[in-house]
Chains A and B, each alone.
Chain A
Amino acid sequence: MSSRRSRSRQSGSNSRISDDQINDLVSKLHQLLPEIRNAHSDKVSAAKVLQETCNYIRSLHREVDDLSERLSELLATTDNAQAAIIRSLLMQ
């Protein structure tokens, strides 16, 4: 534990970025996560937030993957895509 402390002090003196700034960013990330967004921020550790962030990014990547596949299948059966695309854009 003491070795960790000294290391953190060392890196703190080298960079201008403080722990507070890091903590601000961690809580910003916390707000973006649907899983633990509602949990009290003081109850969730920074490491847990980062872990959940990784999981969330992975699940979003998976969703993009699935949607690309779905769109590819749908395009096979769509004829007048151009018109449909414009209409879909207008409906947003």
Chain B
Amino acid sequence: MNKYNPPRMNPSSLRSRFATRFLRSLSKINAKKPTASSSSPTEIFRRYRRIKVAADKSMAYSVRSRRTWSRAMLWKLRTRPCCRRSVKTSTIVRKTRHEKQNKNTTTTTGEDGVVFGVEADELRELVPGGEAMDLYNLLDETAHYIKCLTTQVQVMKKIADFYSP
């Protein structure tokens, strides 16, 4: 098999772990493409969905289970209805999510008793697994999640630029 041994990257950094994983999935996706219809809109859309999932999966796996958001993201991807067709599972997921949210819509206080309940709840919907976090964990996980998202975007941009004519 091919060995990815980039000389100028620190192999332990999140960036290189993500890049290695993502490129591996990308080449798998590319190998699977049908030669005849690879540029048809349906095929491009299907591949786009696969690439998006691969990007998130690679990111979450690079972080492993050290973070709540990455665990939640992996769980969501695993239970993702490939699934969108089976109505049963998706309603169950939605229901539990709703219950969790109801449980957590307590107003949170911070700086000088300033309430930012609305903002925190908005953030809870954006950060994977955020529904079940208290304010302290939510902010901590958000900071890490943002750093990872930025890395994800940078690496994907670099790959896309490389492919671009």
Chain A residues within 8 Å of B, Cβ to Cβ:
4-5, 7-8, 11, 15, 17, 19, 21-23, 25-26, 28-29, 32, 45-47, 50-51, 53-54, 56-58, 60-61, 63-65, 67-78, 81-82, 84-92
Contacts and interface: CB of A to CB of B under 8 A. Distances in A.
B143 A68 contact: no
A76 to B, nearest CB: 4
7 contacts: A22-B136, A25-B139, A60-B153, A64-B152, A67-B160, A85-B27, A92-B8
A5 B113 contact: yes
B93 interface: no
Interface in B80-132: 107-116, 119-120, 122-123, 126-127
A65 B119 CA distance: 24
B26 interface: yes
Contact of A82 (B2, B6, B20, B157): B2
B127 A75 contact: no
A86 B24 CA distance: 10
A89 B4 contact: yes
Given A21-B136, A51-B119, A81 B30 contact: yes
Nearest to B46: A72
